Chains A and B, each alone.
Chain A
Amino acid sequence: MNAAAHPQSVQPGTALSVGARQRRSLGRRMTLLMLLPSTLWFLLLLLMPLLIILVYSFGERSAVGGYAAGFTLDNYLNLGSRAAAFSNTLILAPLGTLVCLVAAYPLAYFLALKVSKNRSLLLTLVIVPFWTSFLIRTYAWIFLLSGKGIPALLASFGLEDVRLINTPWAVLIGIVYGYLPLMVFPIYVSLEKLDKRLLEASADLGASAFESFRRITLPLSAPGVITGVMLVFILLMGEFLIPAILGGGKVFFLGNALVDLFLQSRNWPFGSALAMTLVAMMLVIIGVYLKLVARYGGRPVDSGV
């Protein structure tokens, strides 16, 4: 989430000529110059808004809506009134991530290790859905999940009265559909980089295919899994579109609550408090996650082996 770029560090030379020193200082200035846009971006568009929201979250709603200066903790104390949004997000975001992972890993494994001929074609197929607007694709799911879609199909097999649309299941299906490619690609990359000779070495040392997977493939693809999980989870925590369309106003996420508070009831301070809480929760969850990952031997960054 932290978007700060790492500057190329200039290695200190031992004995530099005047020319070399000049070149070096020029190089350093170039580096700073190149970092300027991202630094400005980071300060103006990330930190500043965050600070503003932090300030707002302690303010009061003015009579006409929006923000009025003040200092009160009421907004935070009132968070309980949005408990449903919290619980929906905190259940469906991790669950959606998990289902994405379970669905994406075999696909990525297949693409990286079992396909040799049409690999780029198949990879393209994974991203083909992105060629259409996410909104339109999600609308399409309304039809698929409503009475004439999947439930009708299930009914023809004797499973009557299955209701999907406007339930948490609909939201979960939409989430998995929408975010699967984001999980597939990092895992694919880490599996593709896996040195196949390691698997031969493992077999040579007596490990069965399953054992080789458990002891070699899985740990070495951990960086991809970690990246994919973070990517999907972070986006899901702020998800708004899928619950709005497929949840039909019944399955609310924090994102929907925010839209409601800022745009409908125009209670900016309360919305700000909710937003700050979301950011804090995310930081805590990701922090704990990375700690756990580090403890169990994975590497949090996708470093080359």
Chain B
Amino acid sequence: MNDNPPSDIEFCNVVKRYGEVSAVNGLNFAVRRGSFHSFLGGSGCGKTTTLRMIAGFEQPSSGEVLLAGKNVAGVPAFERPVNMVFQHYALFPHLTVAQNIAYGLRYRNPRPDKKTQLRMADEALEMVRLSGFGQRKPSELSGGQQQRVALARALVNKPTVLLLDEPLAALDRKLRKEMQSELLRLQREVGITFVLVTHDQEEALSMSDSISVMHNGSIIQTATPEQLYEAPASRYVADFIGESNLFNGTVRQLQGNSVVLRTEQGLELESPLTPTGKTLSADAPGCIAVRPELISIAGANADMLREVKLPGRVEDRIYLGNCTEYRVRTQAFGVICVRVPRQQDHPANAFEHGAAVSVGWDHANGLAMAL
């Protein structure tokens, strides 16, 4: 396999079955050393199972899991060089914060003496900005503070890989934002590989170097956040990451990079093929995705210099603060979602409910992809 750059985690055809049900189907991926990788997907997509196989809580039914280049088949959790931050922190309630953090230190080889253990726990507390909290019990801390203790408890062991299982799910939005940048800072500081499992795409997009989108036990696409958003490999990803207007149809024409699709409504749409994912073939089903923020909206009579132009009526107007979302019903394609950013010279909420408008985009704004 490719040794350059080295990967800390590698999965080769990993399958995990529980009885008849398979939680994970033939996973193949590698996580580059020192990177921040996320597994993103809805509940039941197999992302947590994947993480638990890295941690050693689950053994794959078949396939190989490699940690730092070594096959870890049969290696129990307590002998793996990984540490986990659990979803509900799983702090030991009967121990103080300092004892929680020092918990794993005595199992290190060579084992640091008591004094060194305490010093390391103190340093870890300082790193997560909780100096002076060592003597408290976990129950005396707020959710965000407990989260930091869980982080310190894992990082103090200097693992090869830090696993994060939906670590921010229990925090409120503001605190979550704060912890996100905290996590990024820590990752840069300690330089070890972070693997995050989340269902929150915003979280995954804002923190990761690379993301694997999972669905039904398989990885649909592994890419950088930019690629995922700007060049989704399939309809599922285009729909799951952010929002897309999706037009299904059959491929009529393929010319180099350009795809012409006859939609279910009998209209022809043209757009470039997505740079990732499968190529399309003529007469195969496919779809074209257009992001709401790439679509323009104008009054029915206004000039609009876009290659695709459709008349419609505003059905819903949703004010989102930094932008306004219009749901415009068109005759050709049903409801089309348009997002208009707030700008000084242009009131974003210019169109009332029921107003006659036209929406439009250029061929280049769409992406054609497999279903």
Contact = CB atoms under 8 A, between A and B. Distances in A.
Contacts of B107: 205-207, 211
A200 B77 contact: yes
Given A200-B77, A206-B107, A206-B157, A216 B57 contact: no
Nearest to B88: A197
A202 B103 CA distance: 8
Contacts of A207: 78, 103-104, 107
Nearest to A197: B90
Contacts of B88: 197
Given A219-B94, A220-B93, A205 B86 contact: no
B228 to A, nearest CB: 29
A208 interface: yes
Nearest to B156: A205
Contacts, number: 59
B83 interface: yes
Interface in A191-214: 195, 197-198, 200-208, 211
A215 B91 CA distance: 13
Contacts of B79: 206
Interface in B221-241: none
A305 interface: yes
Interface string A173-202: 000000000000000000000010110111
A181 B91 CA distance: 32
Nearest to A297: B94
A208 to B, nearest CB: 6
B157 A201 contact: no
Contact of B86 (A197, A206, A208): A197
Nearest to B82: A204
A245 to B, nearest CB: 42
Given A203-B76, A208-B78, A195 B94 contact: no
Contacts of A203: 56-57, 76-78
A205 B93 contact: no
B84 interface: yes
B55 A205 contact: no
Q: Chain B: interface secondary structure?
A: loop
Nearest to A219: B94
Contacts of B154: 204-205
B92 A201 contact: yes
Contacts of A205: 78, 83, 103-104, 107, 153-154, 157
Nearest to A196: B90
Contacts of A305: 93-94
A195 B82 CA distance: 21
A200 B94 contact: no
- For chain A, the bracket of interface size reads 10 to 19
B346 interface: no
Contacts of B83: 204-205
Interface string A8-35: 0000000000000000000000000000
A204 B84 CA distance: 7
A203 B80 CA distance: 10
Contacts of A216: 92
B99 to A, nearest CB: 10
B108 interface: yes
Interface in A285-305: 297, 305
A219 B95 CA distance: 10
A198 B90 contact: yes
B57 A200 contact: yes
Nearest to B76: A203
Interface string B149-180: 00001100100000000000000000000000
B136 to A, nearest CB: 16
A206 B78 contact: yes
Nearest to A212: B78
Contacts of B91: 201
B90 A195 contact: yes
A201 B78 contact: no
A265 to B, nearest CB: 52
Contact of A220 (B56, B76, B84, B94): B94
Contacts of A201: 84, 86, 90-92
Contacts of B104: 205-207
Nearest to A305: B93
A305 B153 CA distance: 20
Nearest to B79: A206
A204 B55 contact: yes
29 contacts: A195-B90, A197-B90, A198-B90, A200-B84, A200-B86, A201-B84, A201-B86, A201-B92, A202-B92, A203-B78, A204-B77, A204-B83, A204-B84, A205-B78, A205-B103, A205-B104, A205-B107, A205-B154, A205-B157, A206-B78, A206-B107, A206-B157, A207-B104, A208-B78, A211-B107, A215-B103, A216-B92, A220-B94, A305-B94
Given A197-B90, A207-B107, A216-B92, 7 more contacts: A197-B86, A198-B90, A205-B103, A205-B154, A220-B93, A297-B94, A305-B94
Closest 5 CB pairs of A and B: A206-B107, A205-B104, A201-B90, A203-B77, A197-B90
